[in-house]
Amino acid sequence: MKTVEEIKAAIEAAVPVARVEIVPNGSPSAEHSLLIDAAHGFAVAKFLRDDAELALDYLSNVTGVDWLDKEIVEKVKVTHQVSKTVDGVEAVVEETVEEARKHVVPGHLEAVYHFYSMKFKHGPVILRMRTENRSDKVELPSLTPLWRSAEFQEREVFDLFGIVFTGHPDLRRLLMWEGFKDYPLRRDYVEPDDFEYEPTAHDEVLARAKAHQNREQGSGNKDQ
């Protein structure tokens, strides 16, 4: 199979407008991934599937990642003009000092896809796409029209992380119920204090069991 650098070059040749970045993986597996800008994610994915040498015809899994805002502290050298008195003479001189400056890198959500070729028995090729932020710009293109196996997995990522996959044929909650607020796998998710509010299909069964138990207890009291 081609190296990740060769795949990057092939993508850039096939979809010249796409932004492609290699995300290194320092683990022993060394499974480096390709970060694609969301605007051209669908076109790049289609190329990976249809390219005669890659033929990535199997999508094994889709996962989500939540990246919170990150504060970065950088040390920079700054030159100031200061007044100093030297031998009784006041003069303005330049003085360079090191200052710590902070800035915040906005967080984002990320969808990660693992592709294989059943035809050539190679893979995985790992593709990443990132949203603009974690609040109101959380759209990414759905790859379900290219790989049907993405349908339920994108729904799961939508359900648990809140990524909105545009072009998905049936984007709705999969594990949580409709009307559930928030996204349980986000890093800042706060669990509710009341664990009894969740609706369940077994409510009627539990109610009948409690009623039966109460009748048996009442009958036992009369026998005494």
Tens of pLDDT along 79-138? 878 887 777 778 787 888 888 888 888 899 999 999 999 999 999 999 999 999 999 999
Task: Supply the pTM of this predicted model.
Answer: 0.76
Asked whether the beta carbons of 23 and 35 are under 8 A apart, the reply is yes
Write down the domain spans for the chain.
1-66+109-224, 71-103
Amino acid at 106: P
Is residue 205's pLDDT more than 80? no
- 1-66+109-224 folds as Beta Polymerase; domain 2 (3.30.460)
3 state DSSP class of 197: coil
pLDDT band at 201 (very low <50, low <70, confident <90, very high): low
Q: Give me the chain's average pLDDT, please.
A: 90
For the residues 14-23, what does the mean pLDDT come to?
Answer: 98
d(CA 104, CA 70): 6
3 state DSSP class of 199: coil
> Which residue reads 């005669």 in tokens?
52
Asked whether the beta carbons of 100 and 74 are under 8 A apart, the reply is yes
The rounded percent of the chain whose pLDDT value lies above 70 is: 93
